[in-house]
Amino acid sequence: MLGGSALGRALERVADIGDQIVGVGTYRGTYRVTGKEMQARVAHVWKLQDGMIVAFEQFTDTLLVNQAMINAK
């Protein structure tokens, strides 16, 4: 939950590229404070070392998320 939001994530594709795993999908949710819905594409990258996750990065369109969090339309 992010600041009163109901957020779901669906990874549609996951690729093993050696020392990294990449997942691509979509965030969907409604920010409860404003009642605005949002949908934004997302990519997750997990870096592996000796079979363990050692780093994580997330890429998404934060403008779309921010627009759901502000009152002005």
Give me the CATH number covering residue 50.
3.10.450.50
pLDDT attached to residue 1? 42
pLDDT attached to residue 31? 87
* Domain count along the chain: 1
The boundaries of the domain holding residue 50 are 5-69
pTM of the model: 0.73
45 by Cβ neighbours in 10 Å (0-12 / 13-18 / 19+) ranks as: middle
Q: What is the largest CA-CA distance in the chain?
A: 48
Per-residue pLDDT of the chain (73 residues; tens, 9 = 90+): 455 555 576 889 999 999 999 999 998 888 888 889 889 999 999 999 999 999 999 999 989 888 888 875 5
